[in-house]
């Protein structure tokens, strides 16, 4: 199993977001407490729970890398999202372009993606994503490793595929 980190590319922007959320928690809820103390307490507890979850999701990014297994690709973004894609479902892997594609599942969150995995068929779930975009720390290494894994998988009895790299 080969692992690829993404926390150096995505986590800093999310930490800034968490800092801004902390400031919002203090300032806005303090102002609301002047008019409605009970409402401010409820809002503060909900916001604090959301902030704790955000900090946890960012903190686990280092421990939950993107992984290429012998039979599947596991795309993760910390505690936010995880998608398992069988290697035979992957049609192509490329460096991500500048276009904004509505059919893509963007796991880069607030960063600009640098890797795009195109699928043969849409993913099952609430969104029928035909592409998965991510921001990895080593995009070229990921593309080479994924192409190698798919080649090995197809030689061992998987479905034939077409790969293109940019």
2-15 pLDDT tens trace = 999 999 989 999 99
Rounded percentage of the chain residues whose pLDDT exceeds 70? 90
Tokens standing for 78? 């910390």
Average pLDDT, whole number, for the chain? 87
What is d(CA 146, CA 86) in angstroms, rounded to the nearest whole number?
12
What order of strands is seen across the sheet that includes strand 2-4? 2-4, 66-68, 72-77, 81-86
Given this model, what pLDDT does residue 154 score?
A: 82
Q: Examine the pLDDT at 161 and tell me if it is beyond 90.
A: no
Q: Read off the pLDDT of residues 76-92 as tens digits, 9 standing for 90 and up.
A: 998 888 999 999 999 99
Strand pairing category for 131-134 and 104-106: parallel
What is d(CA 11, CA 46) in angstroms, rounded to the nearest whole number?
23
**Better pLDDT: 153 or 19:** 19
Report residue 106 CA to chain centroid gap: 6
Q: What is the mean pLDDT of residues 5-29?
A: 91
Strand pairing category for 90-95 and 81-86: unpaired
pTM of this structure: 0.80
Report residue 109 CA to chain centroid gap: 6
Q: Are 136 and 116 within 8 A, CB to CB?
A: no
Q: Are 24 and 156 within 8 A, CB to CB?
A: no
Tokens standing for 130? 């035909």
Q: Examine the pLDDT at 159 and tell me if it is beyond 70.
A: no
Helices (H) and strands (E) in the chain, counts: 3, 8
What is d(CA 114, CA 7) in angstroms, rounded to the nearest whole number?
14
> Which residue is it, tokens 């195109």?
118
Q: Read off the pLDDT of residues 48-87 as tens digits, 9 standing for 90 and up.
A: 999 999 999 999 999 999 999 999 999 999 888 899 999 9
Confidence band of 99 (pLDDT split at 50, 70, 90)? low
Q: Examine the pLDDT at 162 and tell me if it is beyond 70.
A: no
**Better pLDDT: 125 or 8:** 8
**Closest of 153, 151, 84 to residue 117, by C-alpha:** 84
């Amino acid at each position: 199993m080969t692992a690829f980190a993404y926390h150096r590319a995505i986590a800093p922007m999310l930490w800034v977001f968490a800092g801004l959320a902390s400031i919002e928690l203090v300032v806005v809820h303090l102002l609301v407490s002047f008019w409605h103390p009970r409402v401010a307490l409820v809002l503060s507890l909900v916001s604090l729970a959301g902030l704790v979850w955000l900090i946890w999701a960012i903190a686990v990014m280092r421990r939950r890398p993107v992984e290429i297994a012998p039979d599947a690709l596991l795309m993760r973004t910390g505690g936010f999202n995880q998608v398992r894609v069988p290697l035979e479902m992957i049609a192509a892997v490329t460096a991500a372009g500048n276009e904004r594609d509505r059919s893509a599942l963007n796991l880069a969150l607030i960063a600009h993606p640098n890797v795009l995995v195109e699928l043969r068929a849409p993913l099952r779930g609430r969104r029928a994503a035909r592409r998965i975009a991510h921001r990895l720390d080593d995009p070229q290494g990921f593309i080479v490793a994924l192409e190698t894994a798919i080649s090995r998988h197809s030689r061992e009895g998987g479905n034939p595929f077409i790969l293109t790299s940019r």
